[in-house]
Amino acid sequence: MLAIGSDHAGYELKEKIKKYFEESGIKFTDFGTFSLESCDYPIIAEKVGNSVLNKESEKGILICGAGIGMSIAANKIKDVRAALCYEPELAALARKHNNANVLCMGGRFTDFEKAKEIVNVFLNTAFEGERHQRRIDMIKKLENN
């Protein structure tokens, strides 16, 4: 199960990704927003991040205008590793090296075809572990500062 959410600036891209998921048989929960009406992205980031944290969802996808705000907000949640990705290669590295569990994208800067590639790479790339796990453990220690 995936968690997906957006603010108003990411709404249209989120809706296209949801349709793609439905056509592909990928299960997801939509945490909003549900219109183009202006909303506050930290609320959506918290809902998606908590779904991942509580293991209700395996991974999350967040979309705002640039992707920056969502990634900052989601990374405030313990054990969430949100990665802002504009290219499939970045999504691969985020998964392989950082074990990212939330993908962030910018709806104003990422067209649907590119987003679909990024999402597919993110969902289908495994974490490499080993030396990368050591580094993630170091990041976790920073949460206690």
| Secondary structure (DSSP) of 64-122 | ESSSHHHHHHHTTSTT--EEE-SSHHHHHHHHHHH---EEEEETTT--HHHHHHHHHHH
Least confident of 38-47, 87-96, 104-113, 122-131: 122-131
Contact of 3 with 48, CB cutoff 8 Å: yes
Calculate mean pLDDT across residues 70-87: 97
Return the pLDDT at 145.
64
Return the pLDDT at 142.
84
Return the pLDDT at 116.
98
User: Which structure tokens are listed for 62?
Assistant: 């967040």
Catalytic residues: 64, 97
> Does residue 97 register a pLDDT over 70?
yes
pTM: 0.96
Fold designation for 2-142: Ribose 5-phosphate Isomerase B; Chain: A, (3.40.1400)
Alpha-carbon Rg of the chain, whole angstroms?
14
